Structure 1
Amino acid sequence: MKKSNYSKSVVISVSIHALFIMLLLWGADFSFDHKQSVGNTIQATMVDPAMLNQQAQQIRQQRQAAKDAEQARQDRLEQQTAVLEKQRKAEAERIRQLKEDKLTAEKATREAEKQRQLQQQQVAEAKAKADAQAKVDAKAKADAKAKAEAQAKVDAQVKADAQVKADKAKADAQAKVDAQAKAAAKAKADAQAKQDAALNDMFSGLEAENVQRGGAKGKHIADEVARYGTIYKQMIQQNLLVDQSLKGQQCKLTLRLSANGLVLNVSQLAGNDTLCRAAKSAVLQVSEFPMPDNPDVVKQLRVINLTVSP
């Protein structure tokens, strides 16, 4: 648009100058050495020099104005060109930076994707490794559990067998102890039976002796002696302890009692010394035997001959 205005101004200026030249030529006084033409007369028009100078000055001013306008236009055009060039360079730099940023972003995206894939691969490998280890651990745990259960069964069986053996051994030992106890009890019973027989013999002899001494009184004394003799026998039996090795042995003792039943003396008449010591110990442990109120019966009980035979 600015270029079109400039062209229009140039055309107008040239037209004005051409018109001005024509007017100058038209009003000029040209003198030639020739004969005056007959007929038509041409009259010259005078031109004012001041006016001509003024017009020339106007033309010069118009030319200068046009030149200044053109220079200003050229300056504006150069400024606009510089601005456009600066903008073009800035745009080019922006586009270059955008491309560079895009390439950087694409590179970063590719690198991030590569890292993501690598992480996924590492996670997958770690998971696979963990799964494999978990399977190994589970199998090891199952094997250990099965082994422990099998060992527990073996231990239980061994313990059960040991318990059976222990129970059998205990039962055998108890049976042996029971047998020994039974034998000891039988031996003691046999010894007691012999001792009872000896006491019975002794008291029977006393009773027979008393019977012979006379009548009802003698019978009463004999009965009392027999009754107290049974009591004495029981008291001695409770304290008499004999060993199986003394089975078949005998010991004859004489007991001397006070009027109130205290043991004054117990002596060995004959027999096995060990058995006699046990018999004496049994008598001394009684210490005091009960006595009846009847002095005749007391008299019969103060001296007793006793035969001990386990």
Structure 2
Amino acid sequence: MKKSNYSTSVIISVFVHALFIVLLLWGADFTFDKKPSVGNTIQATMIDPAILNQQAQQIRQQRQAAKDAEQARQARLKQQTEALEAQRKADAERIRQLKEDKLTAEKATREAEKQRQLQQQQAEEAKAKAEVKAKADAKAKADAKAKADAKAKADAKAKADAKAKADAKAKADAKAKADAKAKADAKAKADAKAKADAKAKADAKAKAQAKQDAALNDMFSGLEAENEQRGGARGKHIADEVARYGTIYKQMIQQNLLVDQSFKGQECKLTLRLSANGLVLDVSQLAGNNTLCRAAKSAVLQVSEFPMPDNPDVVKQLRVINLTVSP
């Protein structure tokens, strides 16, 4: 490309110089005056001074015209030369500018291509980085999911194991509780039986010694019934029957009374109301320790029905009974 531009510049320069030479040749005066022949013959001629002056004037005018023409030609040649030089310089400047523009364009093209390649390289590197990052992110996500799945499975297994352990413990606790309850029930039954047996023995002993230590050991210090007939043999018989049935009632109530050490020294007064056939209609607290009275009332209600004699007068006396419980 540079060689072609150089050749073009040389051709233009040669063309300008050739044109300049042609113009010089074209402006030159190639007229030759024919010199008169010189001989030995001399002719004497009379010359009119006026004519001579006129001819001299004409010569001067011709010379001045030639001089003016030469000056004009020189000025025209100079102007043309300057114009050609200016054109040459303009052409040279234009060629230089074209070359510079071309170089600038080529440089810009190279820079653009370099920038494009750099951008392409950066884009490819960014794409490669993005692909690597995407793969890393995908792997991290997969690893996180695998860890989460493993944790979820471990948590589920731990939860299942914990539930199984809790169920096993609950079953064991329930069995232990059932066993403990069964043992407690068996012990309570055994204790109740032992207590009942002991109570029965004590009752038997108390019944044998009722007359001697009733005032000290009998839990019922008083059994009173309304007796309208006090005098005579009939009254004594009714009183004896009431006392006998009262003893029976005391024994029946005593068998159901749960005695506690805290009852010692306490007292409770109750009123029993019975039907004609001995059913307990009502039992109420008149006075005394509330806990002891609840235990005595519970014992009465457990009896539920007391035996009644055939004698209606005795039955009448037993319909309302006042009891004093003092362990």
Please classify the TM superposition score into its range, dividing by the shorter chain length: 0.5 to 0.7
Please give the TM-score of this superposition, normalised by the length of structure 1. 0.60
Measure, in 1, the Cα distance between the counterparts of 2:146 and 2:324.
88
Deviation at 1:50, TM superposition (A): 1.5
Find the counterpart in structure 2 of residue 101 from structure 1.
104
Three-state SS of the structure 1 residue aligned to 2:268 is coil
CA contact (8 A) 2:199 2:255 kept: yes
Identical aligned pairs, as a percentage? Answer: 14
Measure, in 1, the Cα distance between the counterparts of 2:324 and 2:89.
161
Q: RMSD of the alignment, in Å?
A: 4.4
Deviations 1:234-276 (A, max 9, x none): 55x152xxxxxxxxxxxxxxxxxxxxxxxxxxxxxxxxxxxxx
Deviations 1:12-56 (A, max 9, x none): xx5xx97xx89x99xxxx638xxxxxxxxxx99967112111111
Deviation at 1:133, TM superposition (A): 1.2
| Residues 1:289 and 2:268 aligned together | yes
Find the counterpart in structure 1 of residue 118 from structure 2.
115
CA contact (8 A) 1:203 1:229 kept: no
Deviation at 1:186, TM superposition (A): 0.1
Measure, in 2, the Cα distance between the counterparts of 1:68 and 1:186.
165
Please, which of 75, 78, 82 is the counterpart of residue 75 of structure 1?
78
What amino acid maps onto 1:52 in structure 2? Q
Please, which of 209, 214, 239 is the counterpart of residue 217 of structure 1?
239
Task: Give unmatched runs, 5+ long, in structure 1.
Answer: 33-42, 240-280, 305-310
Question: How many residues get paired?
Answer: 233
* 1:110-259 alignment runs, 5 A limit: 110-198=113-201, 200-201=203-204, 204-205=207-208, 215-228=237-250, 230-231=252-253, 234-235=256-257, 237-239=258-260
Deviations 1:160-211 (A, max 9, x none): 331232123202211221122112220232134225424643665588999x
Deviation at 1:228, TM superposition (A): 4.8
1:142 to 1:113, Cα distance in 2 relative to 1, 3 A: same
Please give the TM-score of this superposition, normalised by the length of structure 2. 0.57
CA contact (8 A) 1:203 1:225 kept: no
Three-state SS of the structure 1 residue aligned to 2:267 is coil
Task: Give unmatched runs, 5+ long, in structure 2.
Answer: 1-21, 215-235, 272-285, 287-316
CA contact (8 A) 1:207 1:226 kept: no
Which structure is larger by alpha-carbon Rg, 1 or 2? 1
What amino acid maps onto 2:99 in structure 1? R
Measure, in 2, the Cα distance between the counterparts of 1:303 and 1:133.
92
Find the counterpart in structure 1 of residue 43 from structure 2.
31
Three-state SS of the structure 2 residue aligned to 1:290 is strand
Find the counterpart in structure 2 of residue 56 from structure 1.
59
Deviation at 1:231, TM superposition (A): 4.8
CA contact (8 A) 1:196 1:233 kept: yes
Deviation at 1:136, TM superposition (A): 1.9
Q: Stretches of 4+ moved more than 6 A in 1?
A: 206-210, 291-294, 300-304
1:290 to 1:191, Cα distance in 2 relative to 1, 3 A: farther
1:80 to 1:221, Cα distance in 2 relative to 1, 3 A: same
Deviations 1:40-93 (A, max 9, x none): xxx999671121111111101111111110121122123213311321231122
Measure, in 1, the Cα distance between the counterparts of 2:199 and 2:140.
83
